[in-house]
């Protein structure tokens, strides 16, 4: 069954004028034309693709062009198959079937680009583990997902002259999943990434900064802390990093924005915000 543009707008929440603008600018969507009156008509698969673009824009905060490129690179048939992968993953973890968990992760990686695999599949699995699994199975599943995130990060090509980011969790923080995801996004955007990982003491940060001279240091705070311990920990990290820009993120930092800014660091919720902050700092340094 083919649907007219007015119906598509009602089903997807995307205005007719916006759909026409996307078609002119990005070649998406790709409606057929009726004979005689030349009306645009759309298939059910095209409707689902438009919905997927809208979800990426609204939930992931990406640009229209990025959302469309991602959806066009992942056909609707692959998308439908990928929707079954989480159920297979949970079943395999409950059965503690390591081989099946690996197969599911392999299939997901083969059907998605790096950012989609990270944002749409692996990170949602991590977020749901605490509610779905007992402690033993949660450890098993999280180890598999962290290992896969690290594989994806290492497998991405580096740009020889791109800006360098040094990524770390501070002392006492053992959850590096957010850092791995950040590294994937930065590498995809032409950055060189050095990952120090979980539970990194200030001395190690200082040593790495002295050796690598990173353009930005990103610290991920996941564990919740009271204001004073947080301030002491961040102040020590900032001293170790010296003059290099430090960007802080993670759920454990979100409630301490005033402390972060007062100490001279910056806060970012995403790779896009981190890059924007770094660009602002670089532009300020280049001004006469």
Q: Has residue 81 got a pLDDT over 70?
A: no
Query: At which of 154, 171, 199 does a domain end?
Result: 154
Kindly indicate the confidence band of residue 113, based on its pLDDT and cuts at 50, 70 and 90: confident
Q: Are residues 212 and 148 in the same domain?
A: no
pLDDT digit string, tens, across residues 118-130: 988 999 999 899 8
Task: For residue 55, give Cα distances in angstroms to 41, 71, 112, 180, 232.
Answer: 22, 10, 16, 23, 40
Tokens of 234: 């961040």
Q: Are residues 215 and 254 in the same domain?
A: yes
Average pLDDT score over the chain? 88
pLDDT cut 90: percent of the chain above it:
57
pTM of the model: 0.69
Q: Identify the CATH number of the domain in which residue 146 sits.
A: 1.10.1240.10
pLDDT digit string, tens, across residues 45-76: 788 788 888 878 876 778 899 999 988 887 66
pLDDT of residue 51: 82
Find tokens 């098993």 and name the residue. Answer: 140
Q: Reply yes or no: is the peptide bond before residue 29 cis, omega within 30 of 0.
A: yes
Q: What is the mean pLDDT of residues 200-228?
A: 95
E-state strands within the chain: 3-4, 32-33, 40-42, 164-170, 192-200, 216-220, 246-249, 266-267
Q: Are residues 181 and 126 in the same domain?
A: no
Q: Identify the CATH number of the domain in which residue 213 sits.
A: 3.40.50.280
Kindly indicate the confidence band of residue 77, based on its pLDDT and cuts at 50, 70 and 90: low
76-109: b or e for each residue (b if 16 or more CB lie within 10 Å)? beebeebeebeeebbebbeeeeeeebeebbebbb
CA angle 138, 199, 125 (to 5 degrees): 25
Are 248 and 261 spatial neighbours (Cβ–Cβ below 8 Å)? Answer: no
Residue 144's domain comprises 76-154
Q: Are residues 173 and 146 in the same domain?
A: no
Q: Are residues 55 and 105 in the same domain?
A: no
Q: Are residues 186 and 252 in the same domain?
A: yes
Query: At which of 96, 130, 154 does a domain end?
Result: 154
Q: Identify the CATH number of the domain in which residue 52 sits.
A: 1.10.1660.10
């Amino acid at each position: 069954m083919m649907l007219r543009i007015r119906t598509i707008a009602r089903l997807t929440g995307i205005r007719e004028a916006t759909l026409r603008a996307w078609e002119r600018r990005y070649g998406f969507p790709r409606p057929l034309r009726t004979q005689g009156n030349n009306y645009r008509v759309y298939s059910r698969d095209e409707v689902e693709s438009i919905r997927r673009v809208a979800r990426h824009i609204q939930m992931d905060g990406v640009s229209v062009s990025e959302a469309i490129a991602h959806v066009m690179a992942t056909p609707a048939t692959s998308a439908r198959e990928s929707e079954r992968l989480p159920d297979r993953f949970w079943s395999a973890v409950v059965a503690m079937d390591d081989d099946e968990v690996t197969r599911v992760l392999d299939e997901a990686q083969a059907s998605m680009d790096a950012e989609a695999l990270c944002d749409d599949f692996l990170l949602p699995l991590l977020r749901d583990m605490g509610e779905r699994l007992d402690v033993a199975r949660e450890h098993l599943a999280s180890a598999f997902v962290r290992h896969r995130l690290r594989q994806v990060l290492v497998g991405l090509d580096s740009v020889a002259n791109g800006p360098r980011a040094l990524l770390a969790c501070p002392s006492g923080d053992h959850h590096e999943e957010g850092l791995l995801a950040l590294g994937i996004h930065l590498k995809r955007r032409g950055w060189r990434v050095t990952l120090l990982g979980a539970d990194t003491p200030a001395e190690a940060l200082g040593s790495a900064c002295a050796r690598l001279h990173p353009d930005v240091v990103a610290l991920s705070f996941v564990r919740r802390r009271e204001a004073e311990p947080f301030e002491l920990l961040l102040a020590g990290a900032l001293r170790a990093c010296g003059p290099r820009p430090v960007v802080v993120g993670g759920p454990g930092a979100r409630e301490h924005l005033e402390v972060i800014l007062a100490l001279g660091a910056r806060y970012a919720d995403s790779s896009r915000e981190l890059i924007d902050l770094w660009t602002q700092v670089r532009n300020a340094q280049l001004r006469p």
